[in-house]
A and B are shown apart, each in its own frame.
Chain A
Amino acid sequence: MVPTSYYIALSGLLFAMGMIGVLTRRTAIMVFLSVELMLNAANIALVAFARSWGDLTGQTAVFIVMTLAAAEVAIGLAIIVAIFRKRETTNVDDLAAMKG
């Protein structure tokens, strides 16, 4: 049986990778994909802890996180499409102003 700490280490590596992606990519969609990586890293840790404690709370939390991710993607991509229609770009450096 694989020790829990291996899963947590993997989760940490994946989370750090997602963070690097969020900081270095310029297109809004690529930033979004990196956020998904970070969400999945957290999910791995939650499921590993659920097994470690023998408690289903962690697995239930992961189920709810997945639902939240679906909602977040739907709204986020709708915002990106709306911005693209107005500004013809999704470069996050060009979208630094709060004004329309």
Chain B
Amino acid sequence: MMIAFILLGALTLVGGVITIAAKNAVHAALGLVGTLISVAGLFATLNASFLAATQVIVYAGAIMVLFLFVIMLLNANAPITGRDPIPFVRELAGLGGVVLAGSFVILAVSYKDPRPLAEATTALGGGSASVVGETLLTRFLLPFEAVSILLLVAIVGAVALVQRPVPQPDDVPDSEAELLAPPVGSAISRGGHQPAFQQQSLQHSNDEGEVRA
């Protein structure tokens, strides 16, 4: 058990270091995948088998795929150059991190288990899907339902946020309107308008850049 903890804990921390230090965003995301899978292993050592499975499926599976999609879509690998707006931000962050970690470790060392560990572990019932599900649908029914509504709102919100503005026929001259208006849901008409929109937004950002400079 102890060996498993040390191995998984080391993997978790190594993955974390890769995540925050990697230059390439895809490497950082893969480091995080390593951390997430190790955390799933840690859950298993803590008698939480259902959560270990959920961690792999939801976190390491679904969420990280989403991350990798967006990293590749935005080409976030290009390095960002420029000065830090706050001098010594890295040193300050490192110092703050060390202080925070140190205080957590001191707190952890002084922690006493409220009841014998072996007895408490049996009370968990192995953290199987049935016992967690029972708690979720009896004591925590209201949060459970609230979270399901939240997920629905998140789906609608995500779709609404990334939707491109659809050009209205009234806004453009008649000659172009004929091109834009035709049959419902035609991908071609939207695609045809797209470059103009992007060009406009690019122009906008260029203007801002000049003002800033």
Binding site for B on A (CB under 8 A): 1-21, 23-27, 29-30, 32-34, 36-37, 40, 43-44, 47-48, 50-57, 59-60, 62-64, 66-75, 77-82, 84-91, 93
Contacts and interface: CB of A to CB of B under 8 A. Distances in A.
Interface of B: 1-2, 5, 9, 12-13, 16-17, 19-20, 25, 28-29, 32, 35-36, 39, 42-43, 45-48, 50-51, 54-55, 58-59, 62-63, 66-67, 70-71, 73-74, 76, 80, 82, 85, 89-90, 92-94, 96-98, 100-101, 103-105, 107-109, 111, 113-115, 117-125, 127, 131-132, 135-136, 139-140, 143-144, 147, 150-151, 153-155, 157-159, 161-162, 164, 198, 201-202, 204-205
A40 B119 contact: no
B80 A27 contact: yes
A34 B19 contact: yes
A9 B20 contact: no
Given A70-B151, A79-B161, A90-B74, A24 B20 contact: yes
B76 A63 contact: no
Query: Which residue of B59, B94, B153 has the most chain A CB atoms within 10 A of its CB atom?
Result: B59
A94 to B, nearest CB: 8
Contact of A78 (B59, B89, B96, B162): B162
Contacts of A8: 104, 107-108, 111
> Main secondary structure on chain B at its contact with chain A?
helix
A55 to B, nearest CB: 7
A57 B139 CA distance: 9
Given A63-B51, A68-B150, A73-B67, A56 B73 contact: no
B59 A51 contact: no
A99 B123 CA distance: 54
A33 B19 contact: yes
Nearest to B63: A73
Contacts of A44: 39, 42-43
Given A24-B90, A34-B20, A17 B13 contact: yes
Contacts of A54: 115, 119-124
- Counting chain B CB atoms within 10 Å of each CB, the highest count among A4, A17, A53 belongs to A17
